[in-house]
């Protein structure tokens, strides 16, 4: 075990013996940045939701396209169809390795020269405003999703249908404003719930139907405020709650927030796991400091947002997995990959280092935009023998002439791409979603910041005048511009105004939901505030005998520790200063199972 000082934040971090074993296995040096700073650095290299209208740069094209790159960036940007076509060859932009310049300087030059694809999307139909998505049909402004249909304004959802304004959902239908919910039908404004139907404002509920504003329920029906009702009384009370009215929903949301804080919170959502430390991990084993792994992950560390089958990998996330192994320091290192290090958006490949948007390739180093290629360095083709002779010389050069960024941080071989070389500013990349900084702080840490374009939209319906109930909305709302209630006064990249689409209006009418009074960006950040950070703290169980430590929650069952304080300790994504009542697995199961 070795304690090192992070090159970035100057805090100490520990490298364990098994970590050194992994680094030796893949023949890379141990990190010089701590896990949290490594995560921040990687997230700088993924833009999901910041979209721009710009001109297509493909030969013979001049049409407007939607892109993750603004017009003024020094990149050629091709529309999706042309980029994936045969009308150009990324090898054309290859160059000899220059031993008089740092590698990362040469890599940025290659990145600027090689055409980029406007949006990352595959096998989708009628879903042109979606990014980092696969197999979508009739979707609008869905990002980082897979296999969704007729869904809108959502992030990290998979196999959902007719789902709007949701985060990290799976197999939901006709559902709205949910966070970490799955296998549900007509579920609204809920968190961490599954297999629930026809319900509003649920937290940590399973197998429930016709329930409203309730927490920690299992297999219940006709519950409101965690109390049972007869079927007749339930629907009578439902009318009194006025859920078809926006003000009625806001009033209930405030009550729900109070109930959430008075409920028991499981220290971590670990389902069918063995030797796993993290949060929101299922069907996995031997994983440490991992978050949002869908299943079949094993022997991995510091990973997040992984699909099925991630093995023997460190420091990777945002679409990583899909039967991949030996992945290190990557962002969106996708399906069936092996031995891919220090990359972003590398799919169906093996033995790729420092690749950006490379697919179906092998034995690449420092390449951009290559497909079905092998033995390339800086997009230049080599023979197998030439590649194997040159690569050790380049790695040696990277160590002898490391890149130094504006803050004096050095990047030799084994470091991820410098944040200052990312195609995106700090507040354009998803790092802003999960490690939020203001402009001054971001710039003080050496990151670029893109000031929002000054907008003064002509609002035809101020937020205060948006109809309270959908029954009062006529079709001409589709021609109106609605004002966001935040009016640009928040820190959530507020657009100040928004429009309603016909598909969206049909959804609200079918489910009798009022129109929103927040723009899509403000709604997105409101959902993000409902998830825990990608970070762990060591804490003790807050069960103190017959009640929680703060005496707010009264236990309903006898616990093994009886009247004494529970001795169990754990790693949790609930920070010590958070107000939630956090129980260990045993105490949680005593109360909720």
- Block mean pLDDT (10 aa), the chain, length 593: 96 96 97 97 96 96 95 93 95 98 98 96 90 94 95 96 97 98 98 98 98 98 98 96 96 97 97 96 95 92 89 89 90 89 94 96 98 98 98 98 96 97 96 94 94 88 97 97 95 94 97 97 96 96 96 95 96 97 97 89
Looking at the DSSP bridge assignments, the partners of residue 173 are 161, 185
Burial annotation 423-459 (CB, 10 A radius, 16+ → b, else e): bbbbbbbbbbbbbbbeeeebeebbbbbeeeeeeeeeb
The domain boundary, picked from 233, 266, 299, lies at: 266
Q: How far apart are CA 248 and CA 246, in angstroms?
A: 5
Please indicate, yes or no, if residue 496 is contained in any of the structural domains. yes
Domains identified in the chain, total number: 4
Instruction: Tell me whether residue 327 is in a domain.
Output: no
CB of 379 closer than 8 Å to CB of 370: yes
Q: Are residues 477 and 518 in the same domain?
A: yes
pLDDT in the model for residue 453: 82
Same domain? For 229 and 152 the reply is yes
**565 in any annotated domain:** yes
Residue pair 289/301 in contact by the 8 Å Cβ criterion: yes
Would 226 be classed as within a structural domain? yes
Look at residue 35 and tell me if it is in a domain.
yes
Report which DSSP code applies to 487: T
pTM here is: 0.94
Based on the domain organization, do 480 and 546 belong to the same domain? Answer: no
Rounded Cα–Cα distance for residues 71 and 73 (Å): 6
Tell me which residue range forms the domain holding 544: 536-593
pLDDT at 308: 83
The DSSP output letter for 530 is T
Residues 428 and 483 in one domain: no
Which of 242, 266, 290 finishes a domain?
266
Which of 499, 526, 515 minimizes the C-alpha distance to 465? 515
Considering the domain architecture, whether residues 473 and 583 belong to the same structural domain is answered as no
202 within domain boundaries: yes
Is residue 101, in this structure, part of any structural domain at all?
no
Strands (E), 258-361: 264-266, 270-271, 274-282, 285-293, 298-306, 310-311, 314-320, 324-333, 338-347, 350-359
- Return all residues near 227 (Cβ < 8 A) that are at least 6 apart: none
Please give the pLDDT value at position 454. 82
Contacts of 420 (CB under 8 A, 6+ apart): 405, 406, 446, 447, 448
Q: What is the pLDDT of residue 222?
A: 98
Largest CA distance in the chain: 80
Q: For residues 520 and 546, state if they share a domain.
A: no
Q: Which residues of 213-230 are buried (b: 16+ CB within 10 A; e: fewer)?
A: bbbbbeebbbbbbbeebe
Residue-wise over 104-141: b if at least 16 C-beta within 10 A, else e? bebbbbbbbbbbbbbbbbeebeebbebbbbbbbebbbb
Claim to verify: residue 547 and residue 516 sit in the same structural domain = no
Q: Which residue has the tokens 């003000």?
A: 247
């Amino acid at each position: 075990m070795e304690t090192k000082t992070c090159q970035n934040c100057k805090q100490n971090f520990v490298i364990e013996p098994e970590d050194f074993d992994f680094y030796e296995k893949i023949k890379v040096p141990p990190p010089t940045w701590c896990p949290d700073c490594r995560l921040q650095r990687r997230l700088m290299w993924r833009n999901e939701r910041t979209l721009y209208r710009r001109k297509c740069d493909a030969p013979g094209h001049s049409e407007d396209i939607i892109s993750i790159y603004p017009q003024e960036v020094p990149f050629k940007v091709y529309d999706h169809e042309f980029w994936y076509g045969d009308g150009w060859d990324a090898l054309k932009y290859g160059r000899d390795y220059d031993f008089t310049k740092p590698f990362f300087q040469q890599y940025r030059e290659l990145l600027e020269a090689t055409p980029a694809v406007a949006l990352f999307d595959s096998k989708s139909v009628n879903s042109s405003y979606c990014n980092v998505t696969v197999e979508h049909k009739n979707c609008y402004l869905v990002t980082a999703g897979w296999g969704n249909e007729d869904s809108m304004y959502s992030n990290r959802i998979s196999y959902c249908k007719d789902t709007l304004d949701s985060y990290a959902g799976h197999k939901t239908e006709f559902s709205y404003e949910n966070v970490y919910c799955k296998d549900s039908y007509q579920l609204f404004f809920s968190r961490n719930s599954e297999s629930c139907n026809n319900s509003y404002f649920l937290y940590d509920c399973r197998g429930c139907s016709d329930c409203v504003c309730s927490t920690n329920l299992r297999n219940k029906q006709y519950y409101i405020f965690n109390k049972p009702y007869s079927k007749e009384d339930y629907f009578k009370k439902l009318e009194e709650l006025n859920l078809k009215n926006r003000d009625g929903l806001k009033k209930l949301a405030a009550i729900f927030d109070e109930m959430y804080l008075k409920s028991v919170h499981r220290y971590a959502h670990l389902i069918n796991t063995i030797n796993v430390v993290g949060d929101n991990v299922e069907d996995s084993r031997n994983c440490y400091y991992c978050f949002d792994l869908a299943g079949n992950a094993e022997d991995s560390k510091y990973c997040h947002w992984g699909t099925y089958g991630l093995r023997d990998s460190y420091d990777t996330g945002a679409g990583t997995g899909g039967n991949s192994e030996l992945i290190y320091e990557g962002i969106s290192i996708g399906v069936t990959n092996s031995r891919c290090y220090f990359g972003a958006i590398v799919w169906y490949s093996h033995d790729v280092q420092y690749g950006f948007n490379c697919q179906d390739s092998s034995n690449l180093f420092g390449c951009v935009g290559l497909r079905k290629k092998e033995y390339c360095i800086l997009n230049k083709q080599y023979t197998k023998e030439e590649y194997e002779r040159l690569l050790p010389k380049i790695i040696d050069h990277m160590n002898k002439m490391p890149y130094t960024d504006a803050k004096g941080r050095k990047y030799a071989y084994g470091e991820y791409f410098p944040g200052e070389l990312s195609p995106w500013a700090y507040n354009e990349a998803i790092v802003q979603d999960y490690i939020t900084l203001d402009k001054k702080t971001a710039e003080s840490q050496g990151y670029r910041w893109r000031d929002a374009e000054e907008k003064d939209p002509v609002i035809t319906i101020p937020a205060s005048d948006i109809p309270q109930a959908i029954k009062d909305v006529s079709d001409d709302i589709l021609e109106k511009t609605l004002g966001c209630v935040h009016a640009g006064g928040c820190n959530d990249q507020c657009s100040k105004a928004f429009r309603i689409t016909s598909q969206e209006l049909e959804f609200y009418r079918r489910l009798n939901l009022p129109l929103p009074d927040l723009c899509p960006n403000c709604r997105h950040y409101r959902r993000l505030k409902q998830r825990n950070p990608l970070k762990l703290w060591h804490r003790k169980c807050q069960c103190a005998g017959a009640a929680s430590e703060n005496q707010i929650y009264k236990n309903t069952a006898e616990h093994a520790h009886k009247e004494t304080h529970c001795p169990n300790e754990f790693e949790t994504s609930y920070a010590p200063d958070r107000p939630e009542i956090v129980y260990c697995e045993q105490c949680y199961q005593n109360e909720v199972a």
